[in-house]
């Protein structure tokens, strides 16, 4: 493998590792925040903080954690978009195979259309010949 190809391969590998790390971090963030929201939902009996104050604090923390879950979800959606773009831009064999398949399909369709048109032309030619013959041999002309 030549140096430029090896460098490109290492770049792709590094990018994929970055994507994998980002995936793990976002999923872990979602899990941790969800776990903390569940923990906050538990009712605690005795506390030195007033019930209303504790409730407000818990509500605020839940909102922040829900926002963190939303942010991680958006990050995962961006990651999916980046992976799709990476696949489209770097999967040349698949793209070439798709182009070749489509080209062959359209050539087959073109061939069938050409055959149909030729048959139609031949039939029309025969019918036109018969019509001309009938017209010229008619006594009404």
Domain boundary assignment for the chain: 1-90, 92-141
Structure tokens given for 30: 């979602």
Q: Give CA–CA dist 63/57, Å, rounded.
A: 10
Give pTM, 2 decimals: 0.55
pLDDT of residue 32: 94
Burial class (CB in 10 A: 0-12, 13-18, 19+), 79: middle
Question: Are 19 and 83 within 8 A, CB to CB?
Answer: yes
Along the 141 residues of the chain, how does pLDDT read in single tens digits? Answer: 455 556 557 787 888 899 899 999 999 999 999 999 998 887 776 666 777 888 888 899 999 999 999 999 999 999 999 888 888 777 777 778 888 999 999 999 999 999 999 999 999 999 999 988 888 887 765
Q: Give CA–CA dist 98/106, Å, rounded.
A: 12
pLDDT of residue 94: 72
Return the number of other C-beta atoms located less than 10 Å from residue 33's C-beta: 20
- Non-local CB neighbours of 69 within 8 Å, separated by 6+ positions: 29, 30, 33, 34
């Amino acid at each position: 493998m030549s140096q430029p190809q090896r460098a490109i391969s290492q770049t792709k590998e590094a990018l994929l590792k970055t994507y994998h790390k980002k995936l793990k971090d976002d999923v872990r963030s979602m899990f941790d925040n969800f776990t903390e929201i569940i923990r906050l939902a538990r009712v605690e009996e005795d506390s030195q903080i007033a019930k209303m104050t504790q409730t407000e604090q818990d509500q605020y923390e839940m909102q922040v954690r829900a926002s963190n879950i939303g942010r991680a979800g958006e990050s995962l959606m961006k990651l999916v978009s980046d992976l799709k773009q990476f696949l489209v831009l770097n999967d040349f064999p698949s793209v070439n195979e798709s182009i070749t398949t489509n080209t062959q399909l359209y050539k087959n369709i073109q061939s069938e259309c050409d055959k149909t048109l030729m048959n139609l032309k031949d039939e029309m030619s025969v019918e036109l010949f018969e019509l001309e013959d009938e017209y010229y041999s008619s006594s009404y002309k």
